[in-house]
Chain A
């Protein structure tokens, strides 16, 4: 089982709708979870981070964490064409090691 798994997509969503991105992870001891957005040819930029079970909202973005089920999701409300990008889920390494373990990313396309 891969450490961090995401559906590669593409995920196509109409403009103005809610985009839902999902991520599962294998290390039950993981404590910190991050969502990054990456435009083609650019470096990742941080969108959200979440440490506790439940929801965390920031503007149009909501991160959801369920540690018991080992999944984290990102909801984007009122999707805009500028949200079209690859979204990377990252989980803090456990077991005393440092660094983030990344999924391969979900390619999101917002259709005007």
Chain B
């Protein structure tokens, strides 16, 4: 089955720790995205990548980092510099700019 897989589904982080969220897709999509969603809020763009080995900052990139070493994979690292990391993180992909985007099931990150 084609789709986008995010792992883990739930993640707990201690203050000061870096954590990495996984996102893998087998849809052969070129473009991949990371969004953050806070309660009662819309989705906000963190980073995006249109091609392997290239990525761009979105609207709220501070405290986050990404890599795109393979077309299928776009991991997100939440660093200790992110002051308020507790949120629902969503990975998405699409064939190209302007086409519809599809989402993974999300990772809920909680700082403890």
Interface set of A (CB-CB < 8 Å, partner B): 4, 8, 31-32, 34, 36, 42-46, 49, 51, 88, 90, 92, 97-105
Assess the A44–B103 pair: CB atoms within 8 A: yes
Assess the A45–B103 pair: CB atoms within 8 A: yes
Assess the A102–B43 pair: CB atoms within 8 A: yes
Task: Give CA–CA (A8, B104) in the complex, Å.
Answer: 24
Assess the B50–A98 pair: CB atoms within 8 A: yes
Interface set of B (CB-CB < 8 Å, partner A): 31, 33, 35, 40-45, 48, 50, 56, 58, 90, 97-106
**Smallest CB separation, A38 vs chain B (Å):** 9
A31-B45 contact in complex given A42-B105, A42-B106, C-beta closer than 8 Å: no
Task: Give CA–CA (A51, B100) in the complex, Å.
Answer: 11
Assess the A49–B100 pair: CB atoms within 8 A: yes
Which among B31, B43, B45, B97 has the highest number of chain A CB atoms within 10 Å? B43
Task: Give CA–CA (A46, B3) in the complex, Å.
Answer: 13
Assess the A46–B102 pair: CB atoms within 8 A: yes
- Closest residue of chain A to B107 (Cβ to Cβ) is A43
12 contacts between A and B (CB under 8 A): A8-B40, A36-B103, A42-B105, A43-B90, A43-B104, A44-B103, A46-B101, A49-B100, A88-B43, A97-B56, A99-B45, A100-B33
Task: Give CA–CA (A104, B90) in the complex, Å.
Answer: 15
Contact of B31 among A42, A46, A98, A104 (CB under 8 A): A98
Assess the A31–B103 pair: CB atoms within 8 A: no
A99-B100 contact in complex given A4-B42, A104-B40, C-beta closer than 8 Å: no
Residues of A contacting B44 with CB < 8 Å? 102
- Sort A-B residue pairs by CB-CB distance and give the 4 closest, nearest first: A102-B42, A104-B42, A102-B43, A43-B103
